[in-house]
Structure 1
């Protein structure tokens, strides 16, 4: 039974808070879990020590299940010529803020597949749910986490990816639609993107893959959640909806743009992988940049973070990775636990009165 996945976790609401790296916090994850949903920690950009601390802080705030997310991207294929040209191309942006770009780019994130220290943290702490973005871990890592009692889920943007997740022996699949904020979970960012809506992916996965499906992408209120469930999902994952919560690490400029009605755009230039961002000065600058000119993820992100820091030091907030889904303007300013309860009340109301 697909619903057994939610029942086994003991959730009171079929709502997951997306584990947004750089935005989610132990306080947010704990508040969502305490309110009956599944909170999430985005630890793909964290060191093992930082990940351990975040998990321990969350455990101190809740005894309920929560999700820990890690990145399973392929190691960067370095191209020194492309990287030097990229640094040169962005130099005028840095100089506008009296700064200089880095002399070289770093591969700032270690893939989970090659990070057994992070695996050790997860085996030590045994979070109820471990989720994977950008791909799948090694089979032995999957087996170790399963033996530790963790439920395992991964993001898919296509039926082929969903089938690979099922074949890998995981417990559930996140169907990430085109409207989702932040990074696309594509296993291969160089492959064609089908750009399917959340609703289309859910229907397709439910009919073709024998695993519970969690809908993600463009979902902002209880009615959106219930529509996803009516389409066959067992739960919905929301990230942008939580950006304005006081527990969020989003800065004031980011929050202001979330509610300003600014549109979003899918860009690769900020990090090196496709990601949906609020339109800002950086995305506008990158409009004419060919994909072939952008360094590999996460090396491009090294430069992007440096540029944002230089801009913010001069009071310019338009160069950040302001990830957001297409429904960003509908986000509300509520504590995470209160928001979770509101979303569930809206969902139940919609369910009672179709």
Structure 2
């Protein structure tokens, strides 16, 4: 039985687990339309994740995906953090605010969160996926023994081989075009920045695990192309941001529909890890010779504080407006309608012209 058949999917599509954007309502709507809906719980604790899982299950009986961050725990560096806050101080001052005196780490890595593991083993979501790295072998074993299918993001062949060796059931091949955080295991190491097309084909040829294509795909023609390259499905994130079920605020939606969608930027400024977002006032700070940001997610603490100060004065250009390079192709419609549209486009793209 194939991975798609095991999950009962009728559409070879995964809605990306965008933490803070992909709500239980969005995931459930996608699931009920025949694709794999996802929630991202890397920005909450075990209790919050449990509530999100329960909310999904209240609205669907279909399989869904729960995504976790497995980043290397940050190393606090008071000197580096002070320099970062000093560099951001003028931006805070522009909105009549002062930067925080100290920074904290707002997100706990799944690698250091036994309560999250206990919750997953108790609730047993059908699919669990990992971003930024892989959990320890005993954790993988425990989840698989609970009957949970496991996915992991890979941005290179080396990462994909590690994911396969760790026992992942499928690999999400994240191309450089993708919106949001790069899934690189080591953000300070070299990054070949492979595009989705090249990465998918490379992993299909070199790995035994099924491959899910991710990055810059926005319509059924793109999904069909990924399938033709050997992927079993495609993961789309930016395409679902305009859906009414997403948690994107009005400013985010407006920016995605504006000229900034044609100019995404890969930046570390927001969180300390490379991530692709819409060009805005935050990304423009790169022109001011920034110092080395603190480790992820400590740097995110400063980014969130600056965004809050700016929003309090009516400025929305400092938000984490994640988006992939296909952003101009985004379409605003309910999630179920989008899935149906994508499925129709897949069949149209793969049906030979008479």
1:287 is displaced (CA, Å) by 3.2
Aligned pair 1:272/2:272, yes or no? yes
Q: Distance in 1 between matches of 2:126 and 2:340?
A: 21
Structure 2 partner of 1:305: 304
Counterpart position of 1:340: 339
Give the whole-Å Cα distance in 1 for the aligned partners of 2:289 and 2:23: 34
Q: CA deviation at 1:285?
A: 1.0
Spell out the pairing of 1:1-354 with structure 2 (5 A cutoff): 4-262=2-260, 263-290=263-290, 293-353=292-352
Q: Mind listing any 5+ residue stretches in structure 1 that lack a counterpart?
A: none
TM-score normalised by L of structure 1: 0.98
CA distance 1:353–1:258, change in 2 (3 Å) = farther
Q: Distance in 2 between matches of 1:280 and 1:196?
A: 25
Cα distance in 2 for partners of 1:289, 1:189 equals 20
**Cα displacement string for residues 239-293 of structure 1 (whole angstroms, at most 9, x for unaligned residues):** 0000000011111111111121311010001000000010000100123435x62
Distance 2:271 2:287 in 1: 14
| 1:259 and 1:330 in contact (8 A); partners too | no
1:285-318 deviation line (CA, Å, top 9, x unaligned): 123435x621110000000001001100100000
Give the secondary structure class of the aligned counterpart of 1:67: strand
Give the SS at the match of 1:293. Answer: coil
CA–CA distance in structure 2, aligned partners of residues 72 and 125 of structure 1: 19
- For structure 2, the residue ranges without an aligned partner over 5 or more in a row are none
**Cα distance in 2 between the residues matched to 1:315 and 1:23:** 21
SS at match of 1:277: strand
Question: How far apart are 1:100 and its partner, in Å?
Answer: 1.1
Q: CA 1:178–1:50 in 2, change beyond 3 Å: closer, same or farther? A: same
Provide the rounded CA distance (Å) in 2 between the counterparts of 1:201 and 1:7. Answer: 24
User: Aligned partners of 2:220, 2:124: CA distance in 1, in Å?
Assistant: 31
- The secondary structure found in structure 2 opposite 1:304 is helix
CA distance in 1, matches of 2:6, 2:67: 19
Cα distance in 1 for partners of 2:326, 2:200 equals 18
Structure 2 CA distance for aligned equivalents of residues 349 and 71 of structure 1: 36
TM-score by length of 2: 0.98
1:112-136 deviation per Cα after TM superposition (whole angstroms, max 9, x unaligned): 0110100111111111100000000
**1:160 Cα shift?**
0.2
Matches of 1:243 and 1:22 in 2, distance apart? Answer: 11
Query: How big is the alpha-carbon RMSD for the aligned residues of Structure 1 and Structure 2?
Result: 1.0
- Rounded Cα–Cα distance in structure 1 between residues aligned with 2:287 and 2:49: 35
